[in-house]
Structure 1
Amino acid sequence: MTTSRPVLYLFGSAAPPVFDVAEVIAEAQERGFDVCLGLTPTAARWLEPQQAELERLTGHPVRSSYKLPGEPDVWPKADVIAFAPATFNTLNAWALGITHDFVVGVVAEGIGKGIPMVAMPCVNAAYVQHRQFDRSVTELRDMGVRVLYGDGGFVPNQPGQGRPGEYPWHLLLDAVEEIGGTR
């Protein structure tokens, strides 16, 4: 399961920009990455009709749950991990070490393994008023995760005014290149 290209684990949670993940995978591949796609359970349910195509595109199974003990790992080891869109729930769970979702477990462990990581939230302006959100962003940054939020990253919309087509995926992929070594 070795690859000559750097391996990018691209993780997403259930926010509308996740529907554009096929285009993001294709762009990451054009930038030189071997991409493995992981999703939160809800995002996996949203993308279930596209799962076979996403697996064909990446050449790897799409994962949203933990493997059973003793089962072999089906992905190559990650060189870099990108988590976007990262919802309010996902970012807080990650920062607090609550690993009930496979993808959150991988990134929580990835901090200890020293895997370069970048995250970009997708939250509305009401959610960011909750004090835990800023605490979580700060905590992840303090643990070495590059969080693209605010200037130079994702800027929240007002509730009900989301613009998923304007989600700045290019900023995520630029950061992946910077920390993942294809430049």
Structure 2
Amino acid sequence: MTDVLYLFGAAAPPVLEFPQVVRRAQADGWDVCVGLTPAAADWLADQVPELEELTGRPVRSRYRRPGEPDVWPRADVILFAPTTMNSLNAWALGLTSSLPVGVVAEAIGKGIPMVAMPCVNAAYAQHPQLPRSIETLRAAGVDVLYGDGGFVPNPPGTKRPYPWDLALRAVEVAASRG
């Protein structure tokens, strides 16, 4: 049996790399289900058919309607990367207006291992709520890869490679503990 990884993404530039990330996770043996915030779903609209072909499952960006069947198996581990300041803060505060945030908020109570890696620039990183949200999620058992050993904010308008290797290694570690 293959372990199930929910790969969630918010609207930050690394989400555009999801097809490659799905392939890498599958090469590591994961059965991947992709979920996106509404803005990320808009950004990836042209890539959704490719993601669905790769995973064999629908890409989800909205909640199920009452009576609709769940089209995904239960997650063994969840990776929310990239997560924006908006999604991270909403998650920490329990504001579940998007599918990925709702699933990860509930997953805390279900005991599903989770890894989050923000993608915020140095200007956003100065907002006083961001460190509070990171601490709240870490206290709830979420592995938040931020700061030394995780994502380090870059100056606004600059771009550098997103540390996907770090995130995927953390998923393996979280799953082994879970």
2:70 is aligned to 73
Aligned counterpart for 2:27 among listed residues 27, 30, 37: 30
**TM-score normalised over the length of structure 2:** 0.98
Q: Report how far residue 162 of structure 1 moved.
A: 2.5
Gaps of 5+ in 2: none
Whether 1:62 and 2:34 are equivalent positions in the alignment is: no
Which of 172-181 and 99-108 deviates more? 172-181
Whether 1:99 and 2:96 are equivalent positions in the alignment is: yes
Whether 1:175 and 2:170 are equivalent positions in the alignment is: yes
2:10 corresponds to which letter in structure 1? S
Aligned counterpart for 1:44 among listed residues 41, 44, 53: 41
Q: Distance in 1 between matches of 2:168 and 2:144?
A: 13
* Secondary structure at 2:14 match in 1: helix
> What does the per-residue CA deviation read over 1:123-147, in whole Å, with 9 as the maximum and x for residues that have no partner?
0001111110000000000000000
Q: Distance in 2 between matches of 1:39 and 1:96?
A: 19
Gaps of 5+ in 1: none
Q: Distance in 2 between matches of 1:62 and 1:181?
A: 26
**TM-score normalised over the length of structure 1:** 0.95
Whether 1:15 and 2:27 are equivalent positions in the alignment is: no
Q: Report how far residue 181 of structure 1 moved.
A: 3.3
> What does the per-residue CA deviation read over 1:73-96, in whole Å, with 9 as the maximum and x for residues that have no partner?
000000000000000100000000
Superposed CA RMSD: 1.0
Q: Report how far residue 113 of structure 1 moved.
A: 0.3
1:177 corresponds to which letter in structure 2? E
Identity %: 66
- For these two proteins, the number of residue pairs brought into alignment is 177
Aligned counterpart for 1:110 among listed residues 82, 107, 116: 107
